[in-house]
Structure 1
Amino acid sequence: MRAARALPVAVAAFAAVGLSAPLASANFGPSNVTVNPSAVHPGSTLTITANGCGHGGIVTSNAFSPTSLSGGDTGFATARIHDHITPGSYNLSVRCNDNPRTETRSFTVLPGRGAMGGLGGAAGPTQTEMAVGGSLVALAAIGGAVFVARRRRTSGGRV
């Protein structure tokens, strides 16, 4: 008789656990937040993904402007790192639109890589470069004058 009483109690307990499992996995805020890549240069973009924000959300950080997280099973966001951000470790926070709970992740901003553009006109010509340039201009002027003078002499005044 005891087994007959225990069976309904066990079935009720398993049903309670089985029915509460979907509630445990319901939307209780962001989960499985990933940041790719985890190390970026200033001006680069980050891709952030998060589960559990069925109605979208927002991603915030000191390193970029707030950006929207798309809705659905897996939400996506793309954030552009500020150009003049100080290199170092930063955190981002993901918050769903329908839940105040947040999830944070860290990423690293690497030192910026400047363009290898040379001096870019910052240095003027040297004295030697000025002398060579002036000599070439003078030589061209003398050569032009000689050419015109010889041409006039060979034409003999004919038009």
Structure 2
Amino acid sequence: MSPQPVVRVLFLSMGNAARSIMAEYLLRRLGHERFETFSAGVLPRGEVHPLALKVLRERFRLEPTGARSKSWEELQGEHFDLVITLCDKAHEAWAVWPGRPRAAYWDEPDPVAFEGSEAAREQLFLQVGRELSQRLDLLCALPVEKLLHLPHGDERVAAPL
């Protein structure tokens, strides 16, 4: 039996400070080595939001070692099988990635931009983490062959994965 191919996934948001970082680390665990995960931002904030790290550690029992906010320009030479944009602005800014990866669009609220009490902010980070985890569970349930037959980058669709 031949080994199953590894699907290379890029999560793209505007700031790469919360949503895309959480998705990257959640898929690393949920994907059971079927996925190689990356995240980046169109206009990175330069640091990962502390509440994103807290939710990953305390709610999901993950240690996000090495998590950092970085620009998509760092990854321009990389090949990806799937690019998942996590907000309208990143979806609009994303040019067709070289190599025509499959693409999905998951619109998630930006918890970093939310203004409210500390408890309300933490609750929104947790909500976004839960939503991402549910979507990633569905993604992981798909056979690799199905993932590799999603529409190509020039055929982007709002995928409910």
- Higher percent of residues as helix: 2
TM range (shorter): under 0.3
Larger of the two Rg values belongs to structure: 1
- Higher percent of residues as strand: 1
Higher-RCO chain (CA-CA 8 Å, sequence separation at least 6): 2
